[in-house]
């Protein structure tokens, strides 16, 4: 029979990815973490981690063990609360994958609210629009642009959001005024790199103008935003990013707008893990409170 205490070391290394980081969190030496992981692997007769220069990554066996260890940890917390009559302060790490613009302009700017409620939960924010695999535990929670159609996940819609076409004042001063859709011909545009777009929901510009003259491309929505501010072209930008910036002017806002959705997705094995649930509730409330800003309503 394996030592149940070894699961603490397994969980922390799975979350941190490095012996030193896991040891620091557990207040032990990194050799202790290595020894306890080796003991657990020996008792279970499996390899739980693959080691590389980038750190420790769960094997298939480790991925199968992880939800069981998470459930044991959650039940241990519930036991403490039930028997002691005290609320166990939620702690641990939660990794969230979310689109870059939402991460930078909404989540990161409101994270202080979450810290006030749950000071012992460490939130790791992966700001990227690429697909993230929850089954491979690349993240605990993901915010996606569409509802997933496969996998052992639970998902719910967070909110709608709107994008419009914007141009910087200094760009508009140097180029012909746009009074209708035909007036967009001959203007310069900013967009994504076509062959690196993984998600069809990111193909905005094609819906606005046929064969646009694109002068700058980037996989980063923040880079596109800053390029628009520099006045090199017109760009489709999230309203929650651009509307508060007086340097940007919406172009034909009643005619040119694109509505999209954000969905919150969590693996079903983690749905009721307390710290994950706390982050889910925070994000759901935050995006509900930000409805007007997300849709560009003034």
Q: Are residues 164 and 255 located together in one domain of the fold?
A: yes
In a domain, 1, yes or no: no
| CATH code at position 56 | 1.10.10.10
- Residue 278 is assigned to a structural domain of this protein: yes
For 223-281, give the DSSP string.
Answer: HHHHHHHTTS-EEEEEHHHHTT-TTEEESSTTT-EEEEEEEEEEETTTTT-HHHHHHHH
Q: Which two tokens stand for residue 113?
A: 């609210």
Shared domain check, 228 and 171: yes
In this structure, are 72 and 149 located in the same domain? no
Q: How many structural domains compose the chain?
A: 3
Q: In sequence order, which residues have a C-beta less than 8 Å from that of residue 128 and are 6 or more positions away?
A: 97, 99, 100
Residues 168 and 250 in one domain: yes
Residues 192 and 253 in one domain: yes
Final residue belonging to a domain, choices 68, 84, 100: 84
Q: Give the Cα-Cα-Cα angle 163, 167, 168 (nearest 5 degrees).
A: 130
Strand, coil or helix: 180? coil
Domain ranges, residue 183:
160-259
Are 228 and 194 contained in the same domain? yes
Last residue of a domain, one of 84, 110, 133: 84
pLDDT at 83: 67
Residue 296 lies in a domain: no
Query: Which neighbouring-strand residues pair with 126?
Result: 97
- Residues of the chain short of pLDDT 70, as ranges, are 1, 77-89, 129, 197-201, 298
In a domain, 38, yes or no: yes
Residues 165 and 249 in one domain: yes
Query: 141 lies in a domain?
Result: yes
In 3-state terms, what secondary structure has residue 96? Answer: strand
Q: Domain check: are 134 and 277 in the same one? A: yes
Residue of 206, 165, 211, 166 lying closest to 185 (CA atoms): 211
Asked if 135 and 280 sit in the same domain, the reply is yes
Same domain, 233 and 271: no
CATH code of 247's domain: 3.40.190.10
Does any domain span residue 151? yes
Last residue of a domain, one of 64, 84, 104: 84
Domain assignment present for 19? yes
Task: Examine the domain organization and report whether 236 and 284 are in the same domain.
Answer: no
Do both 126 and 265 map to the same domain?
A: yes
């Amino acid at each position: 029979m394996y030592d149940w205490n070894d699961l603490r070391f397994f969980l922390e290394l799975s979350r941190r990815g490095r012996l030193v980081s896991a040891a620091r969190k557990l207040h032990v030496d990194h050799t202790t973490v290595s020894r306890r992981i080796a003991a657990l692997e020996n008792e279970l007769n499996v390899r739980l981690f693959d080691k590389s220069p980038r750190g420790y990554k769960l094997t298939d066996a480790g991925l199968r063990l992880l939800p069981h260890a998470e459930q044991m940890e959650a039940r241990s917390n519930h036991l403490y609360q039930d028997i002691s009559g005290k609320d166990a302060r939620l702690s641990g790490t939660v990794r969230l994958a979310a689109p870059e613009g939402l991460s930078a302009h909404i989540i990161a700017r409101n994270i202080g609210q979450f810290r006030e409620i749950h000071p012992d939960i460490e939130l790791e924010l992966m700001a990227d629009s690429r697909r993230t695999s929850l089954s491979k535990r690349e993240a605990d929670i993901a915010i996606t642009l569409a509802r997933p159609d496969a996998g052992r996940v639970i998902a719910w819609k967070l909110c709608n959001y709107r994008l419009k076409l914007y141009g910087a004042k200094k760009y508009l001063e140097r180029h012909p005024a746009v009074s209708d859709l035909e007036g967009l011909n001959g203007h310069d545009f900013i967009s994504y790199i076509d062959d690196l777009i993984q998600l069809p929901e990111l193909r905005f510009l094609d819906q606005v103008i046929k064969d646009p003259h694109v002068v700058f491309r980037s996989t980063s929505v923040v880079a596109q935003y800053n390029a628009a501010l520099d006045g090199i072209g017109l760009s489709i930008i999230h309203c929650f990013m651009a509307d508060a910036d007086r340097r940007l002017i919406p172009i034909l806002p009643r005619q040119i707008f694109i509505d999209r959705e954000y969905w919150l997705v969590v693996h079903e094995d983690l749905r009721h893990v307390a710290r994950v649930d706390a982050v889910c509730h925070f994000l759901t409330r935050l995006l509900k409170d930000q409805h007007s800003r997300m849709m560009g309503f003034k």
